[in-house]
Chains A and B, each alone.
Chain A
Amino acid sequence: MSVEHGVFIVLSAITLVGAWIVIANRNLYRAALGMVLSFFGVAGLYALLNVGFLAVVQVLIYVGAISILIIFAIMLTRQVMDREVVQRNSQWFISLLVALVLFGVLGYTLAFRVADQWAVGGSGLPEKPIEALGEALVTTYALPFEVASVLLLVALVGAIVIAREK
């Protein structure tokens, strides 16, 4: 049990506790803050995997933008009896069973059946990972990159038009 194992367990605990707050808390605002905690845990996991760029981008996009959007939406769509509204719908028991069964199947498969089937290692990260990523984005993967920018433009215009006051 090296230090890396310990750090991994702490970060996974933060992630899963945050997710637990999201799905179990009746107060929507606290659920949103639990989601922020979970995003930080995931960013920590990326940092542990030595992919610092994705960790910072995770914080920037998820915590800095998407969480703020969701919090705004919670505040702008408040109902009068917000605290007393039941948050679970009528099919919650079935969905709990489904989620548990899915986790059981996935967990069993991952932990016992296919644990070491992939050739681990490759040849290490490139020396300048950010330059390599930038180069890949504009040479090999230029088409997905351009399509993603068009998608963002469409989403931007669409969101403004939909949410506009008529």
Chain B
Amino acid sequence: MTDYDKFTPEIPPLHEPFWAALREHRVVLQRCDRCGRFRFIPSELCTCGSAQYTWTPIAGTGEVYTYTVVHRAPTPAYQADAPYVIAHVTMDEGPRMISTLVGSDPAAVTIGMRVEIIFDDVTPDLTLYRFRPVETAPATVAQDD
């Protein structure tokens, strides 16, 4: 059994491959077989109208589109983590995804910041994706202005 007491997702069958991949520490999104666009959240139809798609791995990197620092959480379990950052991230493949952004001082988060997905096995059956800043190379070569 688990003592995880935050909200767990209600997952329709269509969405199951996304969550199954997370358990394997991979991120797959639907990619339209007709127009090639990635889409998120899962949907039966692409905006081009096609119902044909393939679950396709993405790189897991993107940039912050917008964010908030939550101080007043929905339940006591989340409140224990407050303040925490919720970020909307434009993935390099196009779709926006939402999650917590960890590994950064909330005050240091900016729109446009590069982030990458990491995995958090919160129960044996549930893995969540989160964002963290992309490690940038040390500025040892920056000699000029």
Binding partners A and B: no
Residues of A within 8 A of B (CB): none
